[in-house]
Amino acid sequence: KVLDASTLSFGTRVRWFVICFVAGIVCSILGTALLWLPRGIKLFAVFYTLGNIAALASTCFLMGPLKQLKAMFEPKRLIATVVMLV
């Protein structure tokens, strides 16, 4: 059950999910847009990484961090998880 994973209310969890998810999308798009600047590759790496971290954090608010990690490292998702983390 969703509410069993944390003491946060469902509304608070959904609110933070949306905030983190939107922040992740904005950071990823910003990183991609900065790619064409002179030092764009470094900026891209920073913002794209922050975007991915924010997107992962968003689902942690819904599922809880332990359930999120268990789901990420299930055998059918293991390769995708390792590739994303590397």
CB 77 within 8 A of CB 71: yes
Where residue 61 falls among pLDDT bands split at 50, 70, 90? confident
Model's pTM, two decimal places?
A: 0.75
Reported as a pLDDT band with limits 50, 70 and 90, residue 4 is low
Q: Is the pLDDT of residue 68 over 60?
A: yes
Cα separation, 83 vs 86, whole angstroms? 5
Quickly list DSSP for 1-46: -GGGG-SS-HHHHHHHHHHHHHHHHHHHHHHHHGGGSTTHHHHHHH
Contact partners, residue 50, CB within 8 Å, separation at least 6? 24, 27, 31
* Residue 10: band (very low, low, confident or very high) from pLDDT cuts 50, 70, 90: confident
